[in-house]
A and B are shown apart, each in its own frame.
Chain A
Amino acid sequence: MEKAVLLEISNLTVTVDGREILHSLNLAVNPGETAVIFGPNGGGKTTLLMTIMGFPRYRVTGGSITFKGQDITNMPVDERARLGIGISFQRPPVVRGVKMHDMVLACLRRDDKEAEELVTALAEKSHMTNFLGRNINAGFSGGETKRSEMLQLLAQGPDLALLDEPESGVDLENISLIGQLINEVLGKTHPIRERSRSGLIISHTGHILDYVNARTGYVLCGGQIICDGDPHDMLNTIKAKGYQECVVCLKK
């Protein structure tokens, strides 16, 4: 029996501050599937993830989003989070006065004895131990911000992880750490039976493909998914010919 899709987006049209950014977009993610989204700057990738997460600024003017069989098109962001969607931001805001430690604890959504130990262990894993006492994102470097986002996702443990350029601004050494953390978030370090977590990863360089096993690739351009296929092949084409080729290809 085929498993039901985890996320299904149909004919999604999204407007930001009065401007239509996504035009009747379709996309499906199966349980356990990880997909990579490529696309030129301004193509609408961040808009897509932010809309799936449910930020009110991204107004859905058409189509629907279904998650775990439930129509979530109009569901508030916090309910989506508790339903199992998580996001790592391309540029998260600084929250003054809220400590990293308290944030990770809040992401865990438990206050038993083990919660504290978990915070410590997860922070160690993401090399963020020294940041637990700091205000979230305040003065974090680019790479530190990404690790902080991954740490919060690890604590949250979503069924669908939306990762917005998790490797951009990360140095070569830390990129394997980020890759490892992504795999952990996606449950890929666990035995097969637990591998039901899914991910949508936005990437420009595709470096993350060296660490994360993604089977599907998409190109999002001009507010639409214009291509899908093997992410490695896609990356090679894009590297060689740029996104111009995608546009031409679409016209065929």
Chain B
Amino acid sequence: MLEEVRKRQEQALAARDKKAAVGDDVDLSKFESHVTQAPQNVATGAIPADVRQSVLSTGVMLDDLSQRSGTFVQIDNQPMHMAVAQDGIEVMATSEALAKYDWVKDYLWKAVKVDTDKFTAHTEINQADGYFMRALPGVKTTYPVQACLYMSRARAIQDIHNIVIAEEGSELHIITGCSSSGHEPGVHLGVSEFFIKKGAKVTFTMIHSWAPDVEVRPRTTAIIEQDGLFMSNFVIMRPVHSMQSNPTAYCMGENATARFNSVIVATLGSKIDVGSRAILSAKGAKTEMIARTISAGGEIISRGYIEASELETKGHLECRGLILGEHGSIHAIPEIKGNRAGVDLSHEAAVGKIAEEEVEYLMARGLTRDESTAAIIRGFLKVDIQGLPPMLNAEMQRAVKQSEADLF
């Protein structure tokens, strides 16, 4: 055991300068590393009012917990609040889970490799804390469980390590809101490992709301067993300096399914490199990736990668992008790889502008040019997310709407 921990630390140290496979490098030495602090558990009311207010736009409601099956709050490198409101659902700090259950260590760094790059290495070296969420076998969350990851310090690095386990036949709906105060610059590093057991279902809705000088490098991997479902909904519409993320789903069990929906808006000065990866290695495994990207002056790289190596696997990747205004770029990189006969993979990508014909059609009904454009953009961003519970869908649309208010 100790041997394993020591080995992992060694691996992390060896990888501390390892650049990420893709995306701009970040010189971490230019930022302050703060040690991870032991969890506290203050009442949500004790969390500063301006924080409670600002995280609302990321789907996190701290003033009214009646619509949540559980809540977790971490500010910088310290878990501040954790509570559950439903039997069979567990929400605690990862450090607490490691102390409480002997077996949690077997999940740590099992989905994400510790030496993936300097960012994963940093979270390990700094013994990052984060949330541990678990649904016991057959338990379904009535309301979503929410997590708030908030950066309050300037020039600091936030390290996060989350573990999510959906036991057999369970259903876990998670909203994670990631945001920061105006104190910039800063770096957010977040490792998230998902384990979706037989017949379990996890929806993971992540809404980002950073600031123009923040660098964001989440590292997310899901391991999905037979008949399991992982659904990731990723929203970023507010400015960020750079964001690079390429979550991977390993569909390891028969009929395991991964769905990714991304809504990305890059304003001037933002560089967003986001993709989704799915490895279909069991019979009947499926994936669907839908990305809607808008460059309002910023730079977007929209990646997608599907690899299939078993019979009856099916994958589809769709990336549509709109470039508004003079500047901005969208680079769609859809990739599909079939390793045998019997796979069914496809992709479609389109980058363009708003069709003038559509704008004029709405104008002919009396809408002004601006109203017409706004309606079309709003519609473009409104991904109809299949299988997302109506309430969660409403939450997501609400968040998109709030961010939209900044756009127009």
Contacts and interface: CB of A to CB of B under 8 A. Distances in A.
Interface of A: 53, 55-56, 76-78, 81-82, 86-87, 89, 92-99, 102-103, 106-107, 109, 135, 152, 156
Interface in B328-386: 355, 357-358, 360-369, 371-372, 375-376, 378-382
Contacts of A92: 361
8 contacts: A77-B363, A78-B367, A78-B369, A89-B361, A95-B361, A106-B366, A135-B379, A156-B366
Given A81-B366, A106-B367, A107-B366, A97 B378 contact: yes
A86 B381 CA distance: 29
Given A95-B358, A99-B379, 17 more contacts: A56-B360, A77-B360, A77-B364, A78-B366, A78-B372, A81-B363, A81-B364, A93-B358, A93-B361, A95-B361, A95-B376, A97-B376, A98-B376, A102-B375, A103-B362, A103-B365, A106-B365
Interface of B: 355, 357-358, 360-369, 371-372, 375-376, 378-382
A68 to B, nearest CB: 16
Contacts of A98: 362, 375-376, 378-379
Given A97-B380, A98-B376, A81 B361 contact: no
Contacts of B375: 98, 102, 106
Contacts, number: 66
Contact of B357 (A76, A87, A93): A93
A250 B369 CA distance: 43
Contact of A96 (B364, B369, B380): B380
Name B's interface SS: helix
Given A97-B382, A98-B376, A135-B379, A109 B366 contact: yes
B31 to A, nearest CB: 39
A1 B165 CA distance: 83
A77 B378 CA distance: 22
B363 A96 contact: no
Contacts of B361: 89, 92-93, 95
Nearest to B383: A97
A106 B371 CA distance: 10
A87 B371 CA distance: 19
Contacts of A107: 365-366
Contacts of B376: 95, 97-98
A95 B382 CA distance: 13
B363 A76 contact: yes
Contacts of A135: 379
A78 B357 CA distance: 13
A78 B363 contact: yes
Contacts of B368: 78
B294 to A, nearest CB: 12
Nearest to A82: B366
A238 to B, nearest CB: 30
Contacts of A82: 366
A47 to B, nearest CB: 15
Nearest to B371: A106
A78 B379 contact: no
Nearest to A96: B379
A86 B366 CA distance: 9
Contacts of B381: 97
B357 A81 contact: no
Contact of B362 (A86, A95, A96): A95
Residue among B361, B379, B380 having the largest count of chain A Cβ atoms under 10 Å: B361
B298 to A, nearest CB: 21
Given A93-B355, A97-B376, A55 B365 contact: no
Residue among A89, A96, A97, A99 having the largest count of chain B Cβ atoms under 10 Å: A97
A103 B371 CA distance: 12
B110 to A, nearest CB: 39
Nearest 9 CB-CB pairings of A with B: A97-B379, A81-B366, A78-B363, A98-B379, A77-B363, A107-B365, A93-B357, A95-B358, A82-B366
Contacts of B363: 76-78, 81
B349 to A, nearest CB: 16
A200 to B, nearest CB: 15
Contact of B365 (A56, A94, A99, A156): A156
Nearest to A104: B365
Contact of B379 (A77, A86, A95, A156): A95
Contacts of A156: 365-366
Contacts of A56: 360
A99 B357 CA distance: 17
A146 to B, nearest CB: 15
Contacts of B358: 93-95
Contacts of A86: 364-365
A98 B369 CA distance: 15
B252 to A, nearest CB: 35
A55 B378 CA distance: 24
Contacts of A152: 365
A93 B358 CA distance: 6
Contacts of B380: 96-97
A88 B380 CA distance: 24
A87 B364 CA distance: 7
A132 to B, nearest CB: 15
